Structure 1
Amino acid sequence: MPPALVGGFRREAGFLRKSFWDLSLVTWIPLILLATVAIQMSAGAMRDLPIVVVDRDGGGIARELTRRLDAAPGLAVLEIAPDLSMAENAVRARQAYAIVLIDRDTSREVLRGGTAQVIALYNASYSTPAGSVIREVGSVVQGYASSLASQQSAAVLGPGRVRRPPIAVRSTVLFNPQGSYEIQLVALLHPALLHLIFMVAITGALGRELRDGTIGDWLADCSRREAAWAVCGKLLLYVLIFMGWGIAAIAYLAGLRGWPIAGSPLLIGAGYAVMYMAYVGVGLLFVGLTLTMSSALSAAGLYAGASFAFAGAVFPVESASGFARVWSALLPYSSFAKLLSEQWIMGSAASVSLRQIIVMLPFVIVGLAVGLPRYLAAAKQPETWGRR
């Protein structure tokens, strides 16, 4: 290995040993954040989401429907309210996500052979749990309606003359059949947190040398080649540390939690490595263009902090604005999130995910071509030192 690379590595390792907070940023702080996300999502799927039933009918059909709603695994009937205003108070107090209104004469309308309406009112301010609630309510009501229709037809025509529906939909879940939010979100949130901390760590490591004026003593007397290797050695330490965190995140979900990797673990590991290298390029670009630690850190936090929202992992970017689609394309995490879903959940062919790795490589090239030369030049420009 080039001596300058080893020297840069040792220089940064020595600094971390002496700096409590910088060492904390790459050790126990990631551990706490990853553990917090893992614990919050460990339940897997949403269960027993509270709803309020307003029973204005009071008949047997309404009581049976209420029983079925409470028995559904995703729902829990918090209370049977006497009127709509009390039910609305429970939703406003965030005690329930939805109201199921069974109106008057529901039983009479069903027994007459008509169609009664069950009204579901849900709080869209909490779109994810409310969406789950409304799907579960719809499933329960439709299931009970089909049962009632069969019973009524059998009573009128006789059991032998009841015809089954001529066409029925049978849906099959291709990936994540358990509907688990743990594998869907934790697998994506862990690298989202890691790459944000990684960006802050490497940007701080580079900017610190400018802020403290130590870049001259470190690189001024080196050749351009040696200085480049020294910078690579400094950053290599962080790449290795966060590769360890990435492997730990994979081991937690695949090993401890038992979520199988449908594709290639090696390709997921390669995706982590290339993603970190892409953010090395971005960090070099920010520090090289600003030559100021505070400005570079602000840009890094803004750039990496928005990655999860714009990656298309949870909210589809296809229907977003043109700006959102362009911003998503400018984030290495967007490509990594696609690779992770393809290899962990979908089991896509390696050739499909290799495209995501190729998309991340230009970020490395731009950082090395634009940011690194400006950073190395600053080692011989004392007027750029000491900026806060």
Structure 2
Amino acid sequence: MRLASRPGFLLVAQRECQWLFHDRVALLLIFGVPLFAFVVLTTVFSHPVIRGLGVTVVDEDKSDASRALVEYVAASPSLKIVDRSGTLSTAVKDIRSGKAISAIYIPPDFERDLQAQRRPQVVGFYNQQFLTAAGIASSGLSDALSAAAAVAAPAKHAAPTPASIGTMAGETIALVNPQKNYAQFLLRALLPTIIHVVITLAAGYSVGSEFRRRDARAWLESAGGDPLVALAGKLAPLFGIFLLIMLAEPLFLEGVLQVPFRGDLPLMVAAGSLLIVAYLSLGALLQLLVGDLATGLGLAGLVASPAFGYAGVGFPAIGMNAFAQVWSAILPLRWYMAVLLGQAARGLPVSDSAIPFAALAGLTMLYAGLALLRMASLKRRGWFETARPAEQSEIGRAPRGVGGAFMAEWRRVLGARSAFTLLFLAPLVYGIYYPQPYLNQILRKLPIAVVDNDLSDLSRQIVETLDASGALSVAVRTRTLAEARTAIDRGKAFAAVEIPPNTERDVLKGITAHIPIYADATYLFIFRSTASGVATAIGRLTSELVSRGARSDGSLVKAKLASSSPADILLQPIFNPVGGYASYIVPAAFVLILQQTLLIGAAMLTRTALATGGGAFAGVLGRGIAHLTIYLPALALYLIVLPRIYGFSTLGHLPQLLALAAVFLLATSFMGQAVGAWFTRPENATILLLATSLPQFFTAGFAWPREAIPDVAIALGRLFPADFAIDGLVRINQLGASIWEVAHDWLGLWCLALAYFVLAVISALAVKRGQTRAQS
């Protein structure tokens, strides 16, 4: 490419393009990481309907009625019976080990009590530690058991029955995403999240590479000495590339995956452009502030990587604590997500997206302005003209044996600022910073709208019951459904409850009155919470109506309940019984944080370690043992201290936790050494490994059930130690499983540890051989 002869914007941009397309790490980061994430996530979510969740059946009646009940459950598309002959103790073991997500208990004399209209109780247990799978399993159990009990009930006699109070039944209708498609919801949100991490790292890499690897003075001179032109010209090629990637994303979602786009395209192009500029500016600003490529990349990762939680997509901002709400408000991703989901999923009018768009534009101007001010300050101080020392490799005596490699690795970690920050400080910061959006655990007082078309005493009682619920708050009262829908679109309510005309009359006649619940399924966690809260409140009021004028345990009430529901279906969550979001997501995320920080740290230090010489076998083993001892405090923090501080379940035995965690850390260290041997520069590990953490989380079978993940994606996920470690450590610590119940995870980690140890030794030998040839 022929360079422009005159200094200015074009010369800077041309200089940057030449560097970008000749730097393999930049190409991998900009093109390879997004492509990897797109392929992995679309493969993971290629089966949007979750089917075949494991169920263990405990049938203590063994009658025709109980067998018919079991067959109904077996016919449910979302469930799969994995054991029919167990006891309650074996059912718990099946759930703890992961063989099943739920269990059904059918009591003795079920058929006899059913025929006598005594409403025998059938209990469905489900493991709510795995929140997504638990929601699907509980819904499937409820539908299958209720339908089976109604069919298995004896035929009602034709004799007339006395008039009685009717019941009320809530019917949930999804306004947006009516199929409640998790894949549609998650893919739309996850892909921009990964891209924004890549944008931040790419900008940091581009600016930070000028410190020693390139020539900061030449950069400024190509801009004619103007810091504004220098920064704008450097980031312009990246802006063009990422804009094309952002435009390709909705085309891919709609054209290939049939995820519809309903909004205003020019507005989304403008919002995407602002998001790119904001995170390009932020990545550049962090590098200009610290003046060190590795440290700046670490800070960029700290800000960008957990942003999905702070963006209010998984757990809504309305439920966050004060710190999380304030921090999320200064993250451009949060406001971009509000515009994206409002436009792409809901198809809102442009005016309804004005506030988040204005916030996104304001933050973009703020970060761009701060980056430019920092550039101007560095120019005034003569920073660009100051010669910086060249990169130096470690020079020292070759370590001898495993002990020498162990001590040498400790010295490297304590002597390098970037390594010390990553391996000691980062776990502490992440342990405090990452869980903040989720610590309120459950959603309370979610605003809803009510449309009362009955205007009766009963309808007023319904409204009062909804408002008194701990989960809901009647924030809007409208006269029409159209007004309620407008309130939902503008964020004033998350659901609308319509009380139809003649509701009270129907109930007094003994007829079942249907109460429509119109809920927004854009955010599926909010959808489930509001729909469940309304259904619970209506069910409670119905029970009060049925028992009015009679004892709640009297024969009249029992007869009425038996006529409406022949069996008492009790769904009982076990493990994380309140459904706390932090209890669900944070323990698994902690394991992934441990892997990513250690993986990056081990990869960063490996090339430097290989330059000092020493035996390959002893060196890999010694460094692995060093990493294990370095991470023991972080392990104790994440598995013992913080779960107790945050109130998570801690049922595991410490020796068993350490037995599995130690193999996990060794496997991660050996994997980092095997990969890091091929990185010519230590910061390349941060650049290429950091942005892959989110796809790994969804291949692990925790946030998204393994039953819905294709085998190829499961196989890919199992290449990373966190896949086995998340499953094993969460089951031991949060579910109280023994290490023998998760023996498949422990064995998998041992296999990975041995395989990566061999690969690390081979890689070390290959690199040393190459260094010897280069010197000769």
* TM-score, normalised with respect to structure 2: 0.47
Conserved 8 A contact 1:56-1:82: no
Q: Partners of 2:204 and 2:340 in 1: how far apart?
A: 25
Q: Cα–Cα, structure 1 residues 99 and 387, in superposed 2: closer, same or farther, change >3 Å?
A: farther
Q: Counterpart of 1:109?
A: 113
Secondary structure in 1 aligned to 2:117? coil
Q: Partners of 2:338 and 2:208 in 1: how far apart?
A: 31
Corresponding pairs, count: 384
State how 1:1-388 maps to structure 2 within 5 Å: 4-147=8-151, 152=155, 154-155=156-157, 157=159, 166-212=167-213, 214-220=215-221, 222-223=223-224, 226-379=226-379, 380-381=382-383, 382-383=385-386, 385-386=388-389
Instruction: Name whichever of 81-90 and 302-311 sits farther off.
Output: 81-90
Q: Partners of 2:32 and 2:147 in 1: how far apart?
A: 50
Conserved 8 A contact 1:101-1:119: yes
Q: Cα–Cα, structure 1 residues 84 and 166, in superposed 2: closer, same or farther, change >3 Å?
A: closer
Q: Partners of 1:26 and 1:148 in 2: how far apart?
A: 60
Secondary structure in 2 aligned to 1:298? helix
The aligned amino acid for 1:280 is L
Conserved 8 A contact 2:310-2:327: yes
**5+ unaligned residues in a row in structure 1: which ranges?**
none
The aligned amino acid for 1:323 is F
The aligned amino acid for 2:220 is L
Query: Per-residue deviation at 1:222?
Result: 4.8
Query: Per-residue deviation at 1:52?
Result: 1.2
Instruction: Name whichever of 276-285 and 22-31 sits farther off.
Output: 276-285
The aligned amino acid for 2:132 is T
Instruction: Name whichever of 110-119 and 372-381 sits farther off.
Output: 372-381
Q: Partners of 1:355 and 1:385 in 2: how far apart?
A: 45
Query: Per-residue deviation at 1:370?
Result: 2.3
Query: Per-residue deviation at 1:165?
Result: 5.2
Q: Partners of 1:28 and 1:280 in 2: how far apart?
A: 18
The aligned amino acid for 2:85 is A
Query: Per-residue deviation at 1:121?
Result: 1.8
Query: Per-residue deviation at 1:169?
Result: 2.5
Q: Cα–Cα, structure 1 residues 221 and 3, in superposed 2: closer, same or farther, change >3 Å?
A: closer
Q: Cα–Cα, structure 1 residues 186 and 294, in superposed 2: closer, same or farther, change >3 Å?
A: same
> Which digits, 9 at most, give the CA deviation of each residue in 1:70-112, with x for residues without a partner?
2122111122133122222222221211111112222222211
Instruction: Name whichever of 264-273 and 61-70 sits farther off.
Output: 264-273
Q: Partners of 1:18 and 1:234 in 2: how far apart?
A: 15
Q: Partners of 2:214 and 2:21 in 1: how far apart?
A: 20
Q: Partners of 2:113 and 2:387 in 1: how far apart?
A: 81
Percent identity between the aligned chains?
Answer: 25
Q: Partners of 1:363 and 1:290 in 2: how far apart?
A: 21
The aligned amino acid for 1:285 is L
Q: Partners of 1:361 and 1:348 in 2: how far apart?
A: 19
Q: Cα–Cα, structure 1 residues 187 and 280, in superposed 2: closer, same or farther, change >3 Å?
A: same
Secondary structure in 2 aligned to 1:367? helix
Q: Cα–Cα, structure 1 residues 365 and 387, in superposed 2: closer, same or farther, change >3 Å?
A: farther
Query: Per-residue deviation at 1:302?
Result: 0.8
The aligned amino acid for 1:347 is G
Q: Cα–Cα, structure 1 residues 16 and 52, in superposed 2: closer, same or farther, change >3 Å?
A: same
Q: Partners of 1:384 and 1:325 in 2: how far apart?
A: 43
Query: Per-residue deviation at 1:213?
Result: 5.7
The aligned amino acid for 2:301 is G
The aligned amino acid for 1:192 is T
Secondary structure in 1 aligned to 2:157? helix
> Which digits, 9 at most, give the CA deviation of each residue in 1:106-155, with x for residues without a partner?
22222111222221222222111112111221222233345556x54x33
Secondary structure in 2 aligned to 1:119? strand
Instruction: Name whichever of 71-80 and 139-148 sits farther off.
Output: 139-148
Query: Per-residue deviation at 1:385?
Result: 4.0
Secondary structure in 1 aligned to 2:138? helix
Conserved 8 A contact 1:7-1:230: no
Conserved 8 A contact 2:38-2:191: yes
Instruction: Name whichever of 356-365 and 280-289 sits farther off.
Output: 280-289
Conserved 8 A contact 1:284-1:367: no
Secondary structure in 1 aligned to 2:275? helix
Secondary structure in 1 aligned to 2:211? helix
Q: Cα–Cα, structure 1 residues 82 and 283, in superposed 2: closer, same or farther, change >3 Å?
A: closer
Secondary structure in 1 aligned to 2:54? strand
Q: Partners of 1:365 and 1:144 in 2: how far apart?
A: 60
Report the RMSD for the aligned CA atoms in angstroms: 2.6
Q: Cα–Cα, structure 1 residues 39 and 188, in superposed 2: closer, same or farther, change >3 Å?
A: same
Q: Partners of 2:129 and 2:298 in 1: how far apart?
A: 30
> Which digits, 9 at most, give the CA deviation of each residue in 1:39-91, with x for residues without a partner?
10011121221111111111222222211112122111122133122222222
Q: Cα–Cα, structure 1 residues 222 and 185, in superposed 2: closer, same or farther, change >3 Å?
A: closer
Conserved 8 A contact 1:34-1:193: no
Q: Partners of 1:222 and 1:63 in 2: how far apart?
A: 80
Instruction: Name whichever of 376-385 and 108-117 sits farther off.
Output: 376-385
* TM-score, normalised with respect to structure 1: 0.91
Q: Partners of 2:70 and 2:61 in 1: how far apart?
A: 12
Q: Cα–Cα, structure 1 residues 113 and 267, in superposed 2: closer, same or farther, change >3 Å?
A: same
Q: Cα–Cα, structure 1 residues 60 and 155, in superposed 2: closer, same or farther, change >3 Å?
A: farther
Secondary structure in 2 aligned to 1:318? helix
The aligned amino acid for 1:120 is G
> Which digits, 9 at most, give the CA deviation of each residue in 1:256-276, with x for residues without a partner?
122221222332232221111
Q: Cα–Cα, structure 1 residues 29 and 284, in superposed 2: closer, same or farther, change >3 Å?
A: closer
Q: Cα–Cα, structure 1 residues 326 and 145, in superposed 2: closer, same or farther, change >3 Å?
A: farther
Query: Per-residue deviation at 1:386?
Result: 5.0
Instruction: Name whichever of 317-326 and 333-342 sits farther off.
Output: 317-326
